Amino acid sequence: MSFRAYRRSVLVMVRELGGAIIAAGVVGLASLAQACSVLPTAISAGMFDGAAVVEHFKEPHRGRNVSTALVSDIDAAFVVLGFAVGTLMSIQI
């Protein structure tokens, strides 16, 4: 995976992925106003970041850009999934 891809088909995919990330961020911010939606939002964001981590690990020759993305995705997944697990463990049935 290279961050220096300039083909039109790749740029369309990057634009769509960027839109999905922005939409997830907006849902995350909106979930702060409605407490019951924070946990599902955290779980979905953690799954998204976790999938990104797996994809970065599959890269045979990671450059600096991919390695930086890998570290930031690991951090994000750890924080968001940690919140989700902590919240689920604190729920008393």
Decide if 33 is inside a domain: yes
Query: In Å, what is the CA distance from 38 to each residue of 27, 30, 31, 63, 78?
Result: 9, 9, 5, 35, 16
Who has greater pLDDT, 9 or 18? 18
Separation CA 18–CA 30 (nearest Å)? 18
**Six token digits for residue 72:** 């930031």
CA 79 to chain CA centroid, nearest Å: 11
Task: List the domain range (segments joined by +) for residue 65.
Answer: 8-90
- pLDDT of 4: 66
Decide if 71 is inside a domain: yes
Decide if 17 is inside a domain: yes
- pLDDT of 27: 86
In the predicted structure, residue 3 carries a pLDDT above the cut 60: no
Decide if 1 is inside a domain: no
Q: Express each pLDDT in 49-84 by its tens digit.
A: 888 888 888 888 888 888 888 898 899 889 988 988
Number of domains in the chain: 1
Q: Which amino acid is at 1?
A: M
Q: What is the mean pLDDT of residues 81-92?
A: 86
Separation CA 28–CA 26 (nearest Å)? 5
Separation CA 34–CA 52 (nearest Å)? 27
Decide if 20 is inside a domain: yes
pLDDT classification of 1: cutoffs 50, 70, 90 = very low
Decide if 84 is inside a domain: yes
Decide if 3 is inside a domain: no
Phi (first) and psi of residue 34, to 5 degrees: -125, 100
What is the pTM for the complete model shown? 0.69
Q: Express each pLDDT in 25-46 by its tens digit.
A: 888 888 888 888 888 888 888 8
